[in-house]
Amino acid sequence: MPKDADSLHASQSVNGTTPAAAGVGSPQDDPDRWTVGRLLTWTADYLKRRGSESPRLDAEVLLADVLSWERVQLYTHYEDEVGATPRATFRDLVRRRAEGTPVAYLVGRKEFYSLMLKVSPAVLIPRPDSEFVVVEFLAMTKNLESPRAVDIGTGSGCLALACTLHQKSARFIAVDLSPEALAIAEGNAKKHGLSDRIVFRQGNLFEPVADDGPFDVILSNPPYIPSTTIPTLEPGVRLYEPHMALDGGDDGLRVVEPLVAGAVTLLKPGGHLILEIGSDQEKPVRDLISSHPAFELAPTIRDHANHPRVIRATRRA
């Protein structure tokens, strides 16, 4: 079997085994003919051997991007031959993926809560676990007229955009310290027709909204990974995603503490604080919130793996 991504541009024999005989295609295949199917099979095996947790999906997303197709089209054109030029582009993406670059950064986009969002290394890649924040926001605001909300550390804008799209009367202020991140978020809002209901502001935590309260909801996916844990993260996260959005200080609560304290004064009575947390942070975050008598804690929300994921607290009247 070919030993590296450079072999995608031509059939090669490795240890006397051709790609066809190695399972990339049937033995009667032309060994110089790289079809969609053969490329996917070879690439999935190659990425699997290099540690990808979703090698087939990675291969499909990358090839579909190169060909400007939807993923389903790969299977309706399974026997089509891929030409030399797109194959060279694909080979480069596969090499970079094998080196650890996240697929979302390679293709420049990621789906979140049915929204396709632009992403870059300036922002965290949106993850399914964060969708639980959106679900909780929608549950808390379903009976509110024109709820006003703040998203602290908006990144790609995924939380503010998904909440605004599905709560038709909601209005958000989305805050981030990074101007590069805000540019991505603003572009995503424009793409999805939400610019009229989301205001983007640069600054640290609540500074840009200090005079705009009170709010019905404050939500955030803050940096919550302890600094000492950063070096142990998988390479795709550690080497490529912005540490500003990951590093939560010595105990992971460096940003969470001022978020909770600031929310006390900026939430309306009956308003909600909704925070994504690390799976091992349930007790320290709940203890932190409980230290503020103004808050009443709700039960912790768990993700699909049954890990603690979202904590909500309501501002007492």
For the chain, the first-to-last Cα distance in angstroms comes to 68
DSSP letter at 239 equals T
Distance, in Å, from the CA atom of 294 to the CA atom of 244, rounded to the nearest integer, reads 30
Average pLDDT (165-190) is: 97
pLDDT one-digit tens code per residue, 56-67: 999 999 999 999
pLDDT one-digit tens code per residue, 17-62: 333 333 333 334 566 789 999 999 999 999 999 989 999 999 999 9
Of the candidates 85, 160, 75, 155, which has an alpha carbon nearest to the alpha carbon of residue 122? 155
Its pTM stands at 0.87
- Same fold? 5-99, 116-315: no
Q: What is the predicted pLDDT for the residue at 29?
A: 52
Domain boundaries, given as residue ranges, for the chain:
5-99, 116-315
pLDDT-derived band at 80, boundaries 50, 70, 90: very high
Instruction: Give me the helices (H) in 167-281, please.
Output: 179-191, 235-238, 256-266
Q: What is the fold, at CATH topology level, of the domain defined by 5-99? A: Helicase, Ruva Protein; domain 3 (1.10.8)
Classify domain 116-315 at the CATH class level. Answer: alpha beta
**Residues whose CB is less than 8 angstroms from the CB of residue 275 and which lie 6 or more positions away in sequence, other chains included:** 133, 219, 220, 221, 222, 256, 259, 260, 285, 310, 311, 312
